[in-house]
Structure formats: C-alpha cells, structure tokens
Amino acid sequence: EDKVVQSPLSLVVHEGDTVTLNCSYEVTNFRSLLWYKQEKKAPTFLFMLTSSGIEKKSGRLSSILDKKELFSILNITATQTGDSAVYLCAVQKYSGGGADGLTFGKGTHLIIQP
Amino acid sequence: KAGVTQTPRYLIKTRGQQVTLSCSPISGHRSVSWYQQTPGQGLQFLFEYFSETQRNKGNFPGRFSGRQFSNSRSEMNVSTLELGDSALYLCASSLATYTEAFFGQGTRLTVV
C-alpha cells in the first residue's frame, strides 16, 4: 500500500525562525512529489519535484527531493505569521491508464507566533 | 487567468438524498481530479477525468460518480448520501498528464 508520511504533524515557532518540514514516501512507480500550502480551503501549489538533489526555490521557501532515501524536505526561512498553514506533501505515480491521483500525507500544521 | 471554480461553496443535504457538485477547470486544462478531505482521513483521491474519459478511480463506493463535458467542466455526483459523506470536496485541474495540479476552493458538504 502506498504511504506518504509527514513530520512533524504540528509545529509552533516564532516569527523569524527557520523551519524544516519532512515528507517520506513509499510508493510504487514514483513519478513526482508535490508540496502544497493549505490555509483555509484551496491547497495552493508550491513545488513539484521529480529529480533528486535539485533544490527548488521560491522566495523564502525551498524544497529538495532524495529519491534514494525516499524523502523530501520543505524549508521556510525568516518565517512570517502569514506562513501559518497546513503544509501538504503529495506523491504522483506513473500509471498505464493516465496519471493516478495524488496520494497525500496528513500534513504539517505550522503555527507562526508573532 | 481565472483559477479553478467550484460551485456551490456550501451545501447541506439530508441523509438519503443525492448531490451534484460542479468544477470549472483553469482555461486550457484538460485533466480534472476530485478529492475528498476529512479531518480523519485527510485528502483522498476520488477520480480523474481527461478529455471526457474517466482514467482512474480511487477506493470509493459506486455511489460516487462523475463526468466531464467537452469544455472540460466536470461534475461529481453522490447518491444516497450518508452522514460519513460530510466533507470538503476539492477539484483540481492540470494542463496535462503529470503536470502540477491546481485546486479550487472546494465545496463543503454537510449531511444531516
């Protein structure tokens, strides 16, 4: 059975801190790993990672994938209260019939205190 | 560029009724996927449509069905509603296979 495990499940830090969120996976026919930020309803796309060792960056956020050890991390530097959200990790598989649906982890609930 | 639009935003239905949810993908996107999100199970894949064809289906009972129209708009139907169907239903659109998926605001369904 496919598994995506995120840690920690919740995290409280102070504004300005740097945080690292973890995502490990066990899936057959892995194709890519995606990160989303969910504040109220719509998960907002952050990154899609397909290759090992290549860091993707967007402002204060960055992410990297390790396909040998089957995990990814999402880093947020100089955190702001607006970064408070649930961060979701999802894995996409290759499928003969077209893309399988994403398999999601339970998410990391990040709270940034002023 | 307009995002993914889901209607309605909120619904309250009675057990045993049926419901239809609608999703309009980003213009030019041909793939539409549906997900159910609950506090206990998280986000779970329901099904995916591409060019009006259902290509993949998650592990949900046959009461959950969907379709996609020629303009890529999609509908999801749940028949014989159960209390456990109360959830946030999210639709995601993708330009093509294996590209990033963009989510709509969701429809919050409450079954009483």
Instruction: Give the C-alpha separation, B31 to A101, whole Å.
Output: 11
Q: Is the pLDDT of residue B2 over 90?
A: no
pLDDT at A95 over 70: yes
Query: Quick check: bond before A43 cis, omega within 30?
Result: no
pLDDT at B32: 95
Portion 53-92 of A in contact with B at CB < 8 A: 88, 90, 92
- Judge whether residue A99 has pLDDT over 80: no
Q: At A106, is the secondary structure helix, strand, or coil?
A: coil
| The pLDDT value given to residue A97 | 60
Query: What was the pLDDT predicted at B77?
Result: 98
Which token pair is B34? 């549906």
In whole numbers, what is the pLDDT of chain B averaged over residues?
Answer: 95
- CB contacts of B48 in chain A (<8 Å) are 98-101
Confidence of residue B1 (pLDDT cuts 50, 70, 90): low
Residues of A in contact with B59 (CB under 8 A): none
Q: What is the mean pLDDT of residues A77-86?
A: 98
Q: Which of B100, B102, B105, B109 to mutate to test the interface with A (most CBs of A within 10 A)?
A: B100
CB atoms within 10 A of CB B27: 11
Please check the confidence at residue A96 and state whether its pLDDT lies above 80: no
Q: From the candidates A5, A104, A108, A109, which should be mutated to test the interface with B, based on the most B CB atoms within 10 A?
A: A104
Q: What band does A101 get if pLDDT is binned at 50, 70 and 90?
A: confident
Token representation of residue A5: 């495990």
pLDDT digits (tens, 9 = 90+) for A1-60: 889 999 999 999 999 999 999 999 999 889 999 999 999 889 999 999 999 989 999 999
Is residue A5 within 8 angstroms of chain B, CB to CB?
no
**Cα separation, A107 vs B86, whole angstroms:** 20
**With bands split at pLDDT 50, 70 and 90, how would you rate the model's confidence at B98?**
confident
Contact, B89 vs B106, CB < 8 A? yes
Total beta-carbon pairs less than 8 A apart between chain A and chain B: 71
DSSP conformation class of A69: T
The band of A98, judged by pLDDT with boundaries at 50, 70 and 90, is: low
d(CA B41, CA A104): 10
CA torsion angle B87 A31 B52 A45 (round to 10):
50
Find chain B residues with C-beta within 8 A of A102's C-beta. Answer: 33, 35, 43, 45, 92, 101
| 3-class SS of residue B95 | coil
Among the partner residues B3, B43, B56, nearest to A95 by beta-carbon distance:
B56
Long-range contact set of residues B67-71: C-beta below 8 Å, sequence gap at least 24: B68/B32
Strand A71-76 relative to strand A61-66, pairing: antiparallel
Which residues on A lie below 8 Å from B104 (Cβ)?
Answer: 42
Torsion, CA A41, CA B77, CA A101, CA B36, rounded to 10: 40
Q: What is the pLDDT of residue B42?
A: 93
Work out the average pLDDT over B4-28: 97
- Helix (H) / strand (E) element for B76: namely strand B74-78
**CB–CB of B33/B47 below 8 Å?**
yes
Q: Which residue has the tokens 């659109």?
A: B93
Residues of B in contact with A92 (CB under 8 A): 98
Q: What are the tens digits of pLDDT across the range B40-76?
A: 899 999 999 999 999 889 999 999 999 999 999 999 9
